[in-house]
Chain A
Amino acid sequence: MNQFQEIYANRHDYARAWKARTGGKVLGYIETYMPEELVYAAGALPVRLLARHAADDVTDRQMHGNCYATKDMLRQFIQGEYGYIDGLVHAEGCQWAFHCYQNIINNRPDFFNHYVFVPDYPDARTSKNALRSEMEVFKTHLEQWTGTEITLSAIDRAIDIYNQNRGLLRRLYELRKADFPVVRGSEAMEIMLACQVMDKAEANEKLEAFLEEAETRAPGEDAVRIMLIGSETWDAELEKLIESLGGNVVIDELDNGSSYFWNEVVWQKDRYMALARRYLERPHHPVKDNNWRRRPEHIFRLYEDWQADCAVIAKQIYCHPHGTDNYVVWKLLRERHIPYHFFERDTTLPKAETSTRIESLVSMVKPGVNRISGINKVGMFSSVIPSEPREATR
């Protein structure tokens, strides 16, 4: 288990230890549209709320029929698992997350809370002005809460650290472009998730070390290369299952995956505008992908660039953003003859059913997979040359 896996597995302990060490406040958030840089500049620790599977007999009256992941976040608050969190921010993404946010603050009226309006129409000329204004309001609210003035240099430092993190995560993903990736999909996802609950400066140090080590690893297994598309995720169970069946998730189009780090803050004199543009210009969440329709082409580009063999679309039950946008992804994949498998899940992953389905997909795709096993290709992203050239799958 690497350090990120440990932190991800013990994320509550990590945050408590961070608080004890720094005396700072921890701010929870649900959607990855939350401008973490401002929170970091205020000296607080932004922590993404992660769902998990647990028996739930406390949220039904407040979130009946909602997506299970957001229900579970509320459950964790009610049952005290998130007792160390001092406040909550909702940056507008999906409405289930909004419900979750609202219900948490109903249960915790003493909480610091803030809502960041993120336009659903990110391409409008005025969207950046609206979000820029929201950034400034958020900054003021954060200052009142923490009692700390958020200086320009603190924002710049936060932007630098976050941009560095994005660059490192991009390097991590680039490793997965190799024919025989040295980093498995599950490992990458656990690193992603750990980064979303960690102090980014610390995460960057650990990532640097991890990447140095990973780049010296022997090439990984030959596996069917899979692209993962769909609702946000909170664990790497699906990636592990896929790996156990001869597949490997080499790329994803998830809000908590590649979309989380895809673009950096481009420096400009008006820092709030720079931040606003970063969040508006990131790969679009399905709800925010409307008039200009950037999402399907972005998916295809990822698929091509990471040389995936097929796609898995995993939608959370009740996920309305993806439930109203999937048809265009299916259409794209069908038109371009890309094999895919669609299934629904909640915070659990039914192993037997999902195994059967993924196994079928892998078995279907594998005979048609074309691999070049020449030595130079194998070593594309690795300084280690494999001892024996690998057999092409077929």
Chain B
Amino acid sequence: MTKQLWETRPLEIWQRAKELRAQWEHSIEEKDKLVGQGQTYAGDWSACFPAIRVIEDNPVGAKMASDSDEFSRICRLAMESRGWGREICGYHLNCWGAQFLGHQRDGSGFPYRDFVVPFPDVCDQHAKRGQQPMDLSPIPRWQGDYPMYIGPRDAAREEALVDHRVYCLQKELNDIERVFDQKFDDGRYARLIRERSIQHGYMSEVLFLMANVPTPISVKDLYSFYTMGGLTKLAPEVVTDFFRALRDEIKWRADNQIAAVGNERYRWMEVHPPAWHYLRYYRYMEQYGAVCIGSPYTHAGGGAQVEQKPDGTWGSRETVEYPEDTPMLTREDVTRIALTPDARAPYHFKIDEYLRPQSLIEFARFYKCDGALLPIWRGGVGCDMWRKEQARRLKEAGVSVMHYEGSQPGDRTDLDEHGFLDRLDIWMESQGLEKLV
């Protein structure tokens, strides 16, 4: 047994996170709410309707793959036999395969949706989210759009693009009011958008603190928190309190060198979501004293995107926002502020790969990463964007790289789990590291 390098202790916020998660899971069981398929991308506006909840198929599909390989395979087969591509992302195939079957794993009926609000994204498959529930049951669907172009921001060009985004979101809200006879609480939405900005501030502080050696929190832990207020829908004030407490605890740990992994001696990064059914590899890597710092995927959502300034210092990337004191007097005001004046915002990880090809190297340098574990997902558009080219660039920057291949983070089909662990062993050993335990 090797002597521990750093003090470590469990996160105190765990219990609170579990309670909030349970609260959300309980809330989605409520029968008196309309169920929407999609994601509320401009703040959780669903909370501003009296009886609406919105569920995205991504976490549902990932959870299905994790819970039961057998049932998720049946679901995917149901999809393929009806025309869906076998290489389509597993989130789709698992979730909507159950719609064809008409039941869930436990035998209960498939939870049909009442409406669809897909998450606008540069990804084609996101654009088609919720197409099937609309096609196969008589429910309304409201499409949003994700304006995109290459090159520096062009504010004049973006005027019409921003108007388009604002129109799409407003139409969703106005139509849901009309179609379902539910009054939208504009005041609450305005408060929610202000809270969102505060929450992002706390979250980005947490993420930047991961640059500390040792890191006070690993990405394995982070995955339990980062959906709060997003996919895990809660009252905005509750989410703000949670992130403030998380920030306080992580800052204290960083100040006192409390490590997420007691033997941290190797730091690695990733790019896209991991195999959700097989997160045990994070714990496996801890045997080598290796800790995962995260990825542009985990950090972009929290607004922790870094750049090296001309003077060589590191700092947060500047984003374009309306001034803080911009009045929110109408629904349009709030939707504009929620969507920001930047038509391509938020710059999440997929957009970054197009607009900022050097972002992985920046991430590796800022977070002091020794290695990069880059998945090659075949089942998602954008999920394997120039992955091997990025590996080459990272290697040139002194970062050791390993790839692994699989279908998609929500599809177990092609991930060879034992082979994956073997390769991790070889990767670590090739860098002179042996298991500490």
Contact = CB atoms under 8 A, between A and B. Distances in A.
B167 A126 contact: yes
B128 A287 contact: yes
B75 to A, nearest CB: 14
**Which among B128, B142, B167, B382 has the highest number of chain A CB atoms within 10 Å?**
B128
B164 A94 contact: no
B84 A323 contact: yes
B145 A99 contact: no
Contact of B164 (A99, A124, A291): A124
B131 A325 contact: yes
The 8 closest A-B pairs by CB, nearest first: A323-B85, A61-B388, A133-B160, A326-B83, A327-B83, A330-B83, A121-B143, A130-B164
Contacts of A132: 160
Interface string B138-172: 00011111111111001001011101100110010
Nearest to A102: B354
A343 interface: no
B135 interface: yes
A137 B150 CA distance: 13
A357 B425 CA distance: 46
B82 A327 contact: yes
A381 to B, nearest CB: 34
Nearest to A103: B386
A165 to B, nearest CB: 28
A291 B131 CA distance: 8
A129 B391 CA distance: 41
B352 interface: no
Interface in A242-295: 286-287, 290-291, 293
A65 B167 CA distance: 36
Contacts of A99: 382, 385-386
Interface of A: 60-66, 92, 94-96, 98-99, 102-103, 105-106, 113, 115-117, 119-121, 124-127, 129-130, 132-134, 137, 286-287, 290-291, 293, 315, 317-331, 342
Given A62-B389, A291-B142, A124 B168 contact: yes
Contacts of B86: 323
Given A126-B167, A129-B160, 14 more contacts: A64-B376, A64-B388, A65-B376, A94-B124, A103-B386, A115-B150, A120-B145, A121-B168, A132-B160, A137-B154, A315-B85, A317-B87, A320-B85, A324-B92
B127 A287 contact: yes
Contacts of B144: 121
19 contacts: A63-B386, A64-B376, A95-B124, A102-B150, A106-B386, A106-B389, A113-B150, A117-B149, A120-B120, A124-B145, A124-B168, A124-B171, A133-B160, A134-B157, A291-B142, A320-B381, A324-B92, A325-B131, A327-B84
B143 A120 contact: yes
A95 B79 CA distance: 22
Q: Please indicate which of the listed interface residues B85, B151, B378, B384 has the most CB atoms of chain A within 10 Å of its own CB.
A: B85
B373 to A, nearest CB: 16
B357 interface: yes
Interface string B381-418: 11011111101100000000000000000000000000
Nearest to A296: B135
B388 A62 contact: yes
B269 interface: no
B131 A120 contact: no
A317 B379 CA distance: 11
Interface in B71-86: 79, 82-86
Interface string B88-129: 100010000000000000000000000000101011110110
Interface string B421-437: 00000000000000000
Interface in B280-334: none
A119 B387 contact: no
Interface in B219-277: none
Given A113-B150, A323-B85, A327-B84, A125 B131 contact: no
B132 interface: yes
A64 B145 contact: no
A133 B143 contact: no
A375 B1 CA distance: 94
B388 A60 contact: yes
Contacts of A323: 84-88
Contacts of B92: 324
A290 B388 contact: no
B356 to A, nearest CB: 12
B83 A329 contact: yes
A129 B163 CA distance: 9
Nearest to B149: A115
B192 to A, nearest CB: 24
A101 B167 CA distance: 29
A324 B146 contact: no
B164 A127 contact: yes
B378 to A, nearest CB: 4
A126 B163 contact: yes
A182 B135 CA distance: 39
Contacts of A324: 84-85, 88, 92, 124-125, 128, 131
Interface string B51-80: 000000000000000000000000000010
A241 B185 CA distance: 61
B161 A130 contact: yes
Given A61-B389, A99-B385, A287 B124 contact: yes
Contacts of B88: 320, 323-324
Contacts of A115: 148-151
Given A323-B85, A324-B84, A290 B127 contact: yes
